[in-house]
Chain A
Amino acid sequence: MSDYNFAYLDEQTKRMIRRAILKGLAVPGYQVPFASREMPMPYGWGTGGVQVSAATLTPEDRFKVIDQGADDTTNAVSIRKFFERTAGVEVTEETEAATIIQTRHRIPEAPLSEDQILVYQVPIPEPLRFLEPRETETRKMHSLEEYGLMHVKLYEDISQHGAIATAYAYPVKVEGRYVMDPSPIPKFDNPKLADCPAIQLFGAGREQRIYALPPYSDVVSLDFEDHPFEASKADHPCDLCGARDSYLDEVITDDRGGRMFVCSDTDYCRTRQAQGHLGAQLAAKQEGAA
């Protein structure tokens, strides 16, 4: 792949993306249009995140990619390999060792630091899109700070279901101004968006938008006083590492209704197991072996 520039994109393109990133950081939560390029991977598969990572990476960086919290899901493997080949950067699976983390659908469990950049892959950057399909309209709504429609939607949820029926991509308000889509992370992750020491960058390739949260931004999940936002997860500890504070995936283990819950953040789970924490199923297995 030596025919390609460092991190694949040419320097002009990277500059164009960096300008969009800087504008995004200057106006937190605002969706900056950018001339997204056609990447050698399909739209919808992380091209926005890949372009933001490419424009952000330096040869000294240590790069981590997760999809659904895991380093070993196929598309995470594919994106990591892409940058190994085109940028030759060091890669890691350890959250704390990484300087840039590209993610799809999760925020790592381990707290992030000021030396880190978290890059989100975003499918639909517009939080109002499913209330108003027209971009020409939603841009107007943002500029006029006209978010009544969103509150009506959340209110209708409550009147219909008794609760806000949004479980992921739960909308937030940034610095008291822009309503922003945090990408399809589970709402469990929403509190981690706020007051985060790391830079958070959001890239939507197909929709040609970049937006950003500077470190320590004020990010509030939309709610009502009598129906406060609640970060929820499966009410269960991890069956492998026993963690009670991590987001869990449900895994079907047999065809008789058997299932277990495991951390979606594979690095977090592995680290805890290495520290000697044992979940119920792993403990049972070790006892059986002893």
Chain B
Amino acid sequence: MYVAVKGGERAIDNAHAWLAEERRGDPTVPELSVAQIREQMALAVNRVMTEGSLYDPDLAALAIKQARGDLIEAIFLIRAYRTTLPRFGSSVPVKTAEMACERRISATFKDAPGGQVLGPTFDYTHRLLDFKLAAEGETPTAPEGEARREPTPHITGFLNREGLIQTEDESGETPPDLTREPMELPAARALRLQALTRGDEGFVLGLAYSTQRGYARNHAFVGELRIGTVAVEMDIPELGFAIEIGEITVTECESVNQFKGSKTEPPQFTRGYGLVFGQTERKAISMALVDRALRWKELGEDDQGAPAQDEEFVLMHCDNIQATGFLEHIKLPHYVDFQSELELVRKLRRAAGAEEVKEAAQ
């Protein structure tokens, strides 16, 4: 005899208790502190801050701990927390030209004012497992040099002087806020860039890669990649001027894209742009390539029908919190709709069967 399943509430509570136990793992192994994650899993923290749209390394580290290292789950925790925060206002645009750079490279010029600064990069490491890291207790030190005090101007600025690169006009408009207004298409570039910054690193990377392989190829060079700290300033109405309220680390990528010109635009270099929190350079470069691919309309290029050119396809599917929620919801009970399908299929089969019998009799 069937008895309806009861006790969903107790099952949920017990599942949560089990989860907490699993999160801690073997209790004889020391527990990870939030500070350890913040300091030693910094690139994971950066990704969570970027896609979570909240600059707070401690909270991001906490989210990673709570999520057992599942970064999308951690991003979700940060987003859900962020929504509850009051809005005091918005900062003035950060001046990335005044960035205190830790890393700054250009693939388009051998040298330029400000120089090439490799910074803390994996780029030229040989990917050999370092078994020394399995042993604890080492505190590596890096040689130190004199900090450069001069500003590090943007590489694209040099091209601009010759008129070789398309200029970006400052519209002066307040950009829309993706987290406060529903997405409306077609989207302005400011909105597209917001969506890409928050977009899933893997998804944006895949799309960027597809442009390199010929799906709306846009001949991108990394004109400049810079990572460092910038001041965040905010206009205080009572004061009548902007004051610095803090400092954040960001990665900025400007791609320089070859462009033969179109019906509406002369031959010149064009740009793609990426800006993300922390050192998150794979994402910044990917973002710049996808941004450039999405600009085909304003540059009078042809629509090649490539996924990376399709604004609606990209913007509606790049958010991993939306994607994972909807994907995973198919775990929820669907027996009512499934039942209606069952009956429909049975009915159609009965009808088809009767048809066959009739034909056989004829």
Does A94 make an interface contact (CB < 8 A)?
no
| Residues of chain B within 8 A of A43, CB atoms compared | 321-322, 324-326, 329
| Residues of chain B within 8 A of A74, CB atoms compared | 8, 11-12, 332-333
Q: In angstroms, how far is the closest chain A Cβ from the Cβ of B160?
A: 34
Q: In angstroms, how far is the closest chain A Cβ from the Cβ of B45?
A: 19
Interface residues in B, total, Cβ within 8 A: 50
| Residues of chain B within 8 A of A233, CB atoms compared | 343
Partner of A35, one of B11, B12, B180, B344: B180
Closest residue to B346 on the A side, CB-wise?
A234
Does A256 make an interface contact (CB < 8 A)?
no
Interface-lining segment among A53-61, A193-201, A259-267: A259-267
Interface-lining segment among B127-135, B165-173, B181-189: B181-189
Does B139 make an interface contact (CB < 8 A)?
no
- In Å, the complex CA distance between A10 and B180 comes to 13
Does B244 make an interface contact (CB < 8 A)?
no
Could you tell me the dominant secondary structure of chain B's interface residues?
A: helix
Chain B 58-92, CB-CB to A under 8 Å as 1, else 0, gives: 00000000000000000010011011101000000
> For the side of the interface on A, what is the size category?
35 or more
Q: In angstroms, how far is the closest chain B Cβ from the Cβ of A163?
A: 7
A285-B1 CB under 8 A given contacts A10-B84, A206-B322: yes
Q: Are B336's CB and A168's CB within 8 A?
A: yes
A72-B6 CB under 8 A given contacts A38-B82, A43-B321, A123-B329: yes
| Residues of chain A within 8 A of B339, CB atoms compared | 186, 234, 247-250, 264
A45-B325 CB under 8 A given contacts A73-B333, A184-B337, A262-B2: yes
Q: In angstroms, how far is the closest chain A Cβ from the Cβ of B361?
A: 19
Q: In angstroms, how far is the closest chain A Cβ from the Cβ of B179?
A: 8
Q: Are B80's CB and A38's CB within 8 A?
A: yes
A4-B347 CB under 8 A given contacts A206-B322, A248-B339: no
Chain A residues engaging chain B, CB cutoff 8 angstroms:
4, 8, 10, 33-40, 42-45, 47, 67-70, 72-78, 81, 104-106, 123, 134-136, 161-163, 165, 167-169, 184-188, 206, 208, 232-234, 239, 247-251, 253, 260, 262, 264, 266, 281, 285
| Contacts A38-B83, A285-B1 known; 14 new A-B pairs at CB < 8 A | A33-B182, A43-B322, A45-B329, A68-B334, A68-B336, A74-B8, A74-B332, A74-B333, A135-B185, A163-B344, A167-B343, A232-B344, A233-B343, A248-B339
